[in-house]
Amino acid sequence: MSNHIIHPQLLADCHLLGKLASGQLLLHRNAAVPWFILVPDTVETELLDLPAKTRELIIDDCAAIAALIKHYFDVAKINFATIGNMVPQLHLHIIGRSPGDACWPETVWGNLATEKFYCDTTLGGIRNNIKQIPGFFAE
């Protein structure tokens, strides 16, 4: 289990799904788009300042999350970003996008007016599918 504390804003905005090799995996509560967030186990705030092996582990986990999103949600595109302007803790956004989604073709930031929530059944299905990611364990 990680010794790193997840920023309170991330916890308020997301479901905590579990742990991957590089950090904690979250799912944004707004189900208008499939929006996952990886919070690496580091105090560093910049991805590009991390040692190469650590960056590689994080990117590998993000690629596994992206593959799951593509398969489970059948999306056309993955948006991938590490912004960190509002929440200074290093966290990576992996978001499934498709034409016709709640804010297509705009970015989700500031354009996701639709508020939709995951029902327990859908959230359970996502949790079950995430177990396929190597090294994942649930909270």
Q: Cα–Cα distance between 67 and 109 in angstroms, integer? A: 22
Model pTM score: 0.94
At residue 46, the pLDDT reads 96
pLDDT for 18-57, tens place per residue? 999 999 999 999 999 999 999 999 999 999 999 999 999 9
At residue 107, the pLDDT reads 93
At residue 66, the pLDDT reads 97
Q: Cα–Cα distance between 105 and 19 in angstroms, integer? A: 31
The answer, yes or no, to whether residue 12 has pLDDT greater than 90, is yes
The answer, yes or no, to whether residue 3 has pLDDT greater than 90, is no
Cβ atoms within 10 Å of 43's Cβ, excluding its own:
8
Q: How confident is the model at residue 132 (pLDDT cuts 50, 70, 90)?
A: confident
Q: Is 100 left (phi over 0), alpha (psi -120 to 50) or beta?
A: left
Q: Cα–Cα distance between 29 and 92 in angstroms, integer? A: 16
At residue 1, the pLDDT reads 37
CATH 3.30.428.10 assigned to 8-133: yes
pLDDT for 53-102, tens place per residue? 999 999 999 999 999 999 999 999 999 999 988 999 999 999 999 999 99
- 3-class SS string, the chain: CCCCCCCHHHHHHEEEEEECCCEEEEEECECCCCEEEEEECCCCCCHHHCCHHHHHHHHHHHHHHHHHHHHHHCCCEEEEECCCCCCCCCCEEEEEECCCCCCCCCCCCCCCCCCCECCHHHHHHHHHHHCCCCCCEEC
